[in-house]
Amino acid sequence: MTNGIDNLLHETRRFEPSADFRAGAVASEELYEEAAADRPAFWGKQSAELLHWNTPFTKTLDWSNAPFATWFEDGELNVAYNCLDRHVEAGNGDRIALNWEGEPGDSRTFTYAELTTEVKKAANTLLDLGIGKGDRVAIYLPMIPEAIISMLAVARIGAVHSVVFGGFSAESLRARIDDAAARLVITADGGWRKGKVSALKPAVDAALAIDGDGSSTVEHVLVVQRGNNDVEWFEDRDLWWHDEIGRAEAEHVAQPFPAETPLFILYTSGTTGKPKGILHTSGGYLTQAAFTHRNVFDLHPETDVYWSTADVGWITGHTYVVYGPLANGATQVIYEGTPDAPHPGRWWEIIQKYKVSILYAAPTAIRTFMKLGRQIPDAFDLTSLRLLGSVGEPINPEAWIWYRDVIGAGKTPVVDTWWQTETGAIMVSALPGVTTLKPGSAQVPLPGLHIEVLDDAGTPVGKNAGGLLVVSEPWPSMLRGIWGDPDRYVETYWSTFPGKYFAGDGARLDRDGDIWLLGRVDDVMNVSGHRLSTAEIESSLVSHPRVAEAAVVGAADETTGQAVVAFVIVRVEQAGDLRQEADALAAELRAHVSSQIGAIARPKQVFIVAELPKTRSGKIMRRLLRDLAEGREIGDTTTLADTQVMNIISTNIAG
Ligand code: 6R9
């Protein structure tokens, strides 16, 4: 047995593109050939075709100061103009840009012309507040149109946004404000979540009061009225969005900026230490955002209705809610609230209402819906869907199949897209209409990218072997650094394998050379000297008909080094009387894994639980489960979406 992933690699289901899909597909086989001939030239061609450059670039990649890259350096463009005005000028001003759905059921629609006007007014407001090129603006908003308007307004004037997810605490917000020295915070009184208003402004007030002497870099707080909850008001600092926008000029001419102008900072947690401010710039980022959004999602902007369920607080919200779709002139849906408010069919109701044709969501959501049962989506008309995407974690083959069968009527392609905050845009994915799909595998690097799997010595592993995922050549939307910390950038990403970008993910190539992601390398277990991946055992558990979701950790074990410990959520429709049967089910699941993968992978313990600890972006925090499995005090839970979850799990296990 080699390294344990064989179970996943024995997945034999294959889905060829249908003739219809192939005939109408945006992507084509030729893209790979073209890109292979000359990568930088390929990206230059894509950029010139997909974007409007006020000053065309004459250079593509400059890697002479590696690992600090520039792309299209002597070109000039305006990112917001590319996402807005040019569509209006091309005669598409009446096309809907945003269909926004509030959690309580209110809705707002913006055409491209209307969105352009709103962004112009917001840009003028920022200028009136003294914000200019290079200044940092923190955005701490719910999923409301103003979040997108703010980001584009900041981009339009050459300033830099730092979006902080609305679920983060005052402390986290303050740390991010300080690190970027933000001059302005854009927030809301509150937003709707799980059926009630969740206040936001108090967190901003608290964040700015943390040092007690008001000495933060923030000069103003611009407040959108959304929750209508009472808020404290600081006269010389706070301004209502509607007052300022109400008196702003509606005309603003976008000025071009050099391609390497910083566009945004987005903080992401490292394994240890303070969050890293990942820096992205303009021309290269927008090129790959637009290219991937068009080709991976097979976007036909005249007819498609696209919905990415991500919050703008995450990279997926930046690239695939704001910049990619709008650069491509897409019509999209955005939704303020949680999937279960006010009822568990809310997502499917939204798809039915807006006739969504392309859905981009996370495996954690899909597995949650699996757990609730297909009767919920089956009650809605989902026939408008023609393409499904997945991002954020490995998607187990069973969840992939469920997604295609239940949500996609057994017909839609499912694209599993691997990428990171740092990569800025999708890196590994099938191309719909071109690639034969394999459930559970992210499959192939996109055209124009060079991705390898290396062993510890830095040698490419070849087919049918596992190792570490690297990006071997610079790419247009790559991070340009860590804000204020160039050494940490070099150390974190470029020193494991000199000259190559170390992603921190384990991966394996199958017999065809397709890529299977195995999770972060810190999730790899070592049981009696065998390397086992959490993803593989989790997939085996999820393939059991009674299991909806599973998380596996390696817990320290005196004899085997580590032992496999599994936490399992049972499907609701098959729950039965769990109290009585938990032991029997645990035994059955241990045997199931053993027969599917081998005795070495058999979990030492299986706990049936009601919840799993997840970050706000839906990634399972295995570190906390490891604490539990090893009988330690549970570590820092502040980044959990629901900080009570660990108590619930501890109680489940004790009971
Ligand atoms: C886009 C995003 C990045 C980490 C990444 C990996 C995991 C993302 C994945 C995936 C397997 C996929 N990840 N997509 N693992 N298959 N399709 O999620 O960015 O929040 O920075 O997380 O997420 O472990 O390294 P980010």
| Ligand 1 pocket test target in 314, 318, 391, 482 with most atoms within 8 Å of CB | 391
**At 280, phi and psi to the nearest 5?**
-120, 150
Mean pLDDT of 209-237: 92
Atom index in ligand 1 nearest the CA of residue 520 equals 24
Which token pair is 443?
A: 């499959």
Three-state DSSP state, 331:
strand
Distance 181 CA to ligand 1 centre (A): 28
Burial code (b: 16+ CB inside 10 Å, e: under 16) for 549-575 equals: bbbbbbbebeebebbbbbbbbbbeeee
Nearest CA to ligand 1 atom 26: 420
* Separation CA 46–CA 358 (nearest Å): 23
For residues 104 and 654, the model is more confident at 104
Q: How far is CA 485 from the centre of its chain?
A: 24
Ligand 1: centre distance to CA 278 (Å)? 15
Average pLDDT over residues 175-204: 96
Does the Cβ of 615 fall within 6 Å of ligand 1?
Answer: no
pLDDT at 142 over 60: yes
Point out the annotated binding site: 193-196, 316, 392-394, 416-421, 505, 520, 528, 531, 542, 544, 547
Q: Nearest 5°: phi and psi at 162?
A: -130, 100
CA-closest residue to ligand 1 atom 11:
394
Distance CA 564, CA 561 (A): 10
Please tell me the residue having the least CA distance from ligand 1 atom 14: 392
Percent of the chain with pLDDT over 70: 95
- Reported ipTM: the value is 1.00
State the CATH class of domain 528-654: alpha beta
Predicted pLDDT at 7: 59
Query: Which of 17-26, 194-203, 252-261, 640-649 shows the lowest mean pLDDT across its residues?
Result: 640-649
In short, whether 8's Cβ falls inside 6 Å of ligand 1 is no
Reduced to 3 states (helix: H, G, I; strand: E, B; else coil), residue 535 is helix
Q: Which residue has the tokens 């986290």?
A: 172
The answer, yes or no, to whether residue 650 has pLDDT greater than 90, is no
Mean pLDDT of all residues in 295-314: 97
Report whether residue 617 contacts ligand 1, using a CB cutoff of 6 Å: yes
Instruction: Indicate which residue's Cα is closest to atom 5 of ligand 1.
Output: 420
Under 8 Å between Cβ of 432 and 415: yes
State the sign of the Cα–Cα–Cα–Cα dihedral 451, 457, 463, 465. negative
Q: Which of 479, 505, 516 to mutate to test the pocket of ligand 1 (most atoms within 8 A of CB)?
A: 505
Over 70: is that where the pLDDT of 53 sits? yes
- What is the tens place of the pLDDT at every residue in 461-514? 999 999 999 999 999 999 999 999 999 999 999 999 999 999 999 999 999 999
Token reading at 60: 């593509």
Residue 410 makes CB contacts below 8 A (sequence gap 6+) with: 404
In short, whether 391's Cβ falls inside 6 Å of ligand 1 is: yes
Tokens linked to 153: 């307004």
123 CA to middle of ligand 1, Å?
A: 33
- On average, the pLDDT of the chain sits at 92
Could you tell me which residues are annotated as the binding site for ATP?
Answer: 392-394, 416-421, 505, 520, 531
- Tokens 């303020």 belong to residue: 336
Alpha helices of 129-262 — where are they, by DSSP H? 145-156, 170-180, 201-209, 241-247
506 CB near ligand 1 (under 6 Å): no
246 burial level (CB within 10 Å; 0-12, 13-18, 19+)? exposed
> pLDDT, tens digit, for every residue of 520-548?
776 667 777 666 778 878 988 999 999 99
Q: Which residues fall in the annotated binding site for CoA?
A: 193-196, 316, 528
Helices (H), 460-554: 486-494, 534-542
Cβ partners under 8 Å of residue 497, min gap 6: 454, 458, 468, 470
Is the link from the previous residue into 145 a cis peptide, with omega within 30 of 0?
no
Cβ within 8 Å of residue 594, ≥6 positions away:
601, 602
Mean pLDDT value across residues 113-119: 98
* Residue 28 CB partners (closer than 8 Å, separation 6+): 433, 434
- CA gap 403, 409 in Å, rounded: 9
Q: Give the mutation target among 420, 515, 623 for probing the ligand 1 site: most ligand atoms within 8 A of CB.
A: 420
Q: Is 563 helix (H, G, I), strand (E, B) or coil?
A: strand
pLDDT for the residue numbered 272: 46
- In this structure, which residue's CA is closest to atom 12 in ligand 1? 418
Q: From the annotation, which residues make up the binding site for Mg(2+)?
A: 542, 544, 547
Q: Is 113 helix (H, G, I), strand (E, B) or coil?
A: helix
Task: Give me 536's structure tokens.
Answer: 């593989």
CA dist 441 and 417 (Å) reads 9
| Ligand 1 within 6 A of CB of 266 | no
Measure the CA–CA gap between 394 and 518, rounded to whole angstroms: 7
Distance from chain centroid for Cα 18: 28
The predicted-structure confidence for 355-397, as pLDDT tens digits, reads as follows 999 999 998 899 889 989 999 999 999 999 999 999 988 898 9
Q: Find the 187 Cα to ligand 1 centroid distance in Å.
A: 27
Q: State if residue 394 touches ligand 1 by the CB under 6 angstroms criterion.
A: yes
User: Rounded mean pLDDT of 389-413?
Assistant: 95
User: Residues near 312 by Cβ (< 8 Å), separated by ≥ 6?
Assistant: 139, 141, 143, 147, 148, 151, 163, 318, 321, 322
**Residue 420 predicted with pLDDT over 70:** yes
Residue of 393, 438, 441 to mutate, ligand 1, most atoms within 8 A of C-beta: 393
**Start-to-end Cα distance in the chain:** 37
Q: Per-residue DSSP letters for 151-177?
A: HHHHHHTT-EEEE--TTS-HHHHHHHH
In this structure, the dihedral spanned by the alpha carbons of residues 39, 43, 49 and 53, taken in order and rounded to 10 degrees, is -140
**Rounded distance, CA 583 to CA 396, Å?**
25
Q: What is the CA radius of gyration of the chain?
A: 24
DSSP-derived secondary structure letter, 573: G
* pLDDT greater than 70 at residue 573: no
Q: Which residues pair with 240 in a beta bridge?
A: 223
Distance from chain centroid for Cα 40:
26
Confidence of residue 578 (pLDDT cuts 50, 70, 90): low
CA distance 316 to 308: 8
Instruction: Give the pLDDT band (50/70/90) at residue 44.
Output: very high
- What number of CA atoms fall less than 13 Å from residue 147's CA on the CB side? 29
Cα of 154 from ligand 1 centre, angstroms? 27
Name the percent of the chain in helix, strand, coil, to the closest 5: 35, 25, 40
Cα of 362 from ligand 1 centre, angstroms: 10
pTM of the model: 0.88
Helix or strand (DSSP H, E) at 557 = strand 547-557
64 C-alpha to ligand 1 centroid (Å): 29
Residue 586: is its pLDDT beyond 70?
A: yes
Residue spans per domain, the chain: 528-654
